[in-house]
Amino acid sequence: MGLLVNDLQAQRIDYPPGFARLLEQCDLVWFEPLDAGYRDTYQNSDNPVMCDLALRSPKEKLEIRLKIIPWLNRDVKTQAPNVITWRALTDVAVNDDDNLISGIQLSQEEARERFGADMALMYFFKPKPIFSNYPFCRMLALAKAGKATVLVFYFFEDENNPALDYRLELIGFNRGKS
């Protein structure tokens, strides 16, 4: 019994204050990773992009960070997901002759089907050391007009880590509402 209690405590994620309210405000659905020992983790206060949530799993050798930018009618900067995504990418990715950034745009149909989003972009790059010590990062950018832009950063060491695909759909927009 003590082992079970310890295992359950090891799964505990301490969500930041206001995180549930932010999800609700942006009409987002969060699928908490209940396995693989995910725990909240520390973010360096000097990060160029301070995220709303940071999780890490030693078992899956993966760190995941979420940044949610709500759509605000009075602030045009929040209504340009491509600009938000590009600014974040240039802030966190090493971009020189030896470290290239690659990206793909999911079709509108796939973005809607998988994430309930109007737009889904995925980038692969080496993160700047101030952002992460991991050698690789995949950034998923999701956006839905009138709701939010969501940036999900996946940090990893092994390019063949199966958790990268398994954890891709941890967050998405509520498909039951327009």
SS3 label, residue 112: helix
Residue 50 dihedral angles phi and psi, to the nearest 5°: -80, 125
Domain 2-173 falls in which CATH fold? Protein Transport Mog1p; Chain A (3.40.1000)
- CA–CA distances in Å: residue 32 to residues 75, 103, 170: 30, 26, 7
pLDDT digits (tens, 9 = 90+) for 83-94: 999 999 999 999
Query: 45-59, 72-86, 136-150 — which is least confidently predicted?
Result: 45-59
Query: 42-46, 119-123, 151-155 — which is least confidently predicted?
Result: 42-46
Distance CA 10, CA 115 (A): 28
pLDDT band at 177 (very low <50, low <70, confident <90, very high): low
Model-level pTM? 0.89
Predicted local distance difference test score (pLDDT) of residue 11: 58
pLDDT digits (tens, 9 = 90+) for 16-51: 899 999 999 999 999 988 888 898 887 767 667 788
Residues with Cβ within 8 Å of 31's Cβ and at least 6 positions away in sequence, in order, are 169, 170, 171
Domain layout of the chain by residue ranges:
2-173
**Is 4 a residue whose pLDDT tops 70?**
no
